[in-house]
Amino acid sequence: MVSLPPHSPGSGYSRLGHQISKVLSYLILGIVLFWVAYPFIILLYGSLKSEGDFLTNPLSVPTVPHFENYVYAWNAAQIPKYTLNSAIVASATVLLTLALAATASYGLSQFRFRGGRLIYLSFILLLTIPVQIYIIPLYIIVVKLRLADNYLGLILPYTAGSLPLAVFLFRTYFDALPAELVDAARIDGCNHLRAFRHVILPLARPIIATVSIFTFVGAWNEFFLALIFIHDPNMATLPLGLQAFFVNQYQTQFPQLFATLLVSIGPIVVVYLLLQRQFIAGLTAGAVRG
């Protein structure tokens, strides 16, 4: 950058211009950061105030921290129960999605067979059809299979919802692995099941992580199907329980609501902060590779 012509018009690389643009960048990013983070800060402050303290002075830092709001969230809002339901549904969805997507992708990637292309195409076409659009027939099917108010009534549709993207990612990944890997295993006398388990699957760890993350987050946060399929409060997942609690709550009990919100988003936020790289990669994988 030393040999710039003296009158490079507006190149932004003169030293002063460079400094100014950097300061400006920090300023803008700072404002955006505040915009995104402020609700969480208020949530934290508000959750530690008494009701009266919050209503008279919603913006200030709490004077005396009131942890009883968290006790309330834990007991009255039944967040632990909903969290457990969500954990069961989301984990089962991840395991089932991984098992089905990995085997199907191995089949589509290793064999050329009649109907294979058609099957793959029918998977891929589903990538742009939101579940909302076929909710009514799906509801009828779930009711006819006696899966309403049942974990499986969520796990199976969630799995079906994750499968198209999961198969797309697994298949692209398997196709890119050298064909000699499986060939060599086959010559050594492995059948396909053993080649899949001992050769391909250990190599697929990155894609297993990706699929696990977007499937888990999707199932953990899903609300629409849960709202329609689950009516027993004991079976409610976290978003469903949170929504019901919010609707039934007195509208002035803000501190309790804040504490409940924080407890309910706590687990996913902690996991996200621990695995942020993997989360960001996993949740954008479909878009970046699509």
Partner 1 sequence: MEEEPAAPAHWDPAGTKPMRRWLRKLEPYCWVAPACCVLFIFTHLPILLEGALSLLAADGFSPPRFIGLNNYLEVLSNQDFWEAIVHNIIYAATTVAGKIALSLFLAVLLNQNLFGRSTFRTILFLPVVLSFVAIGVIWTLFFNFDYGVLNAILNALGLRAVRQDWLGSADTALGAVIFVDIWKWTGFHLVIYLAGLQSIPKDLYEAALLDGASAFQRFWRITVPLLQPFTAINVLLASLGAFSVFDLIYVMTQGGPFKATNVAMVEVYLQAFQFNRFGYAGAMSVVLLGLVATMSVLILRLTKARTN
**Nearer to partner 1 among residue 177 and residue 190 (C-beta):** 190
Task: Count Cβ neighbours within 10 Å for each residue of 55-87 and write b for 16 or more, e otherwise.
Answer: eeeeeeebeeebeebbebbeeebbbeebbebbb
Rounded distance between C-alpha atoms, residue 278 and residue 120, angstroms: 27
> Counting beta carbons within 10 angstroms of the beta carbon of residue 38, is it exposed (0 to 12), middle (13 to 18) or buried (19 or more)?
exposed
**CB 144 to partner 1: min, Å:** 10
**CB 131 to partner 1: min, Å:** 8
**Nearer to partner 1 among residue 67 and residue 224 (C-beta):** 224
**Nearer to partner 1 among residue 127 and residue 205 (C-beta):** 127
Q: What's the number of CA atoms in the CB half-sphere (13 Å) around residue 114?
A: 0
CA 111 to chain centre: 32
**CB 232 to partner 1: min, Å:** 16
**CB 180 to partner 1: min, Å:** 17
**CB 75 to partner 1: min, Å:** 19
**Nearer to partner 1 among residue 176 and residue 187 (C-beta):** 187
**CB 42 to partner 1: min, Å:** 5
Task: Count Cβ neighbours within 10 Å for each residue of 127-153 and write b for 16 or more, e otherwise.
Answer: eeeeeeeeeeebbeebeeeebbbbbeb
Scanning the chain, the segments in alpha helix (DSSP H) are 15-47, 51-56, 68-75, 79-110, 116-125, 135-144, 151-176, 180-187, 192-195, 201-203, 205-221, 224-229, 238-248, 254-274, 276-289
**Nearer to partner 1 among residue 72 and residue 254 (C-beta):** 254
**Nearer to partner 1 among residue 44 and residue 71 (C-beta):** 44
Find all residues with CB under 8 Å of 147, minimum gap 6, and list them.
153, 156, 229
**Nearer to partner 1 among residue 100 and residue 177 (C-beta):** 100
How large is the C-alpha radius of gyration of the chain?
A: 25
**CB 46 to partner 1: min, Å:** 8
